[in-house]
Amino acid sequence: MEQVIKALIKDEVKSTKLVIGLNNMGVEASNFHLNLSNTILTIVGVKLNDEEFDRYDKMYEEVLNIDIEDNKSLNQLTNKIYRYLMKIKH
């Protein structure tokens, strides 16, 4: 199950980079965001309060600082988000 969750997180990270990048170029792309967060949180079994969700959401924005082709950095961000969810879950 861990691999499935991480795969979903990685897809959400990539989607976030694409949507924010398009929005920054003047293309309204918010409606095309995959919004996998709800699915991820359901699978993990975590209910986040507003503060926790804001932190969770901000972590995805860190993708703007990395090259999407840099698999190592992408995996590091994916693992960071996964660890955060596991920490809150317990």
Global pTM? Answer: 0.91
- Rounded average pLDDT over 57-70: 92
The CA angle 8-11-14, to the nearest 5 degrees, is: 155
pLDDT band at 33 (very low <50, low <70, confident <90, very high): confident
Q: What is the pLDDT of residue 35?
A: 84
The Cα 9–Cα 75 span in angstroms is 10
Quick: pLDDT tens for 79-90. Answer: 999 999 999 987
Query: pLDDT at position 73, please?
Result: 95
Q: 30 to each of 34, 58, 68, 89, how far by Cα in Å?
A: 9, 16, 19, 29
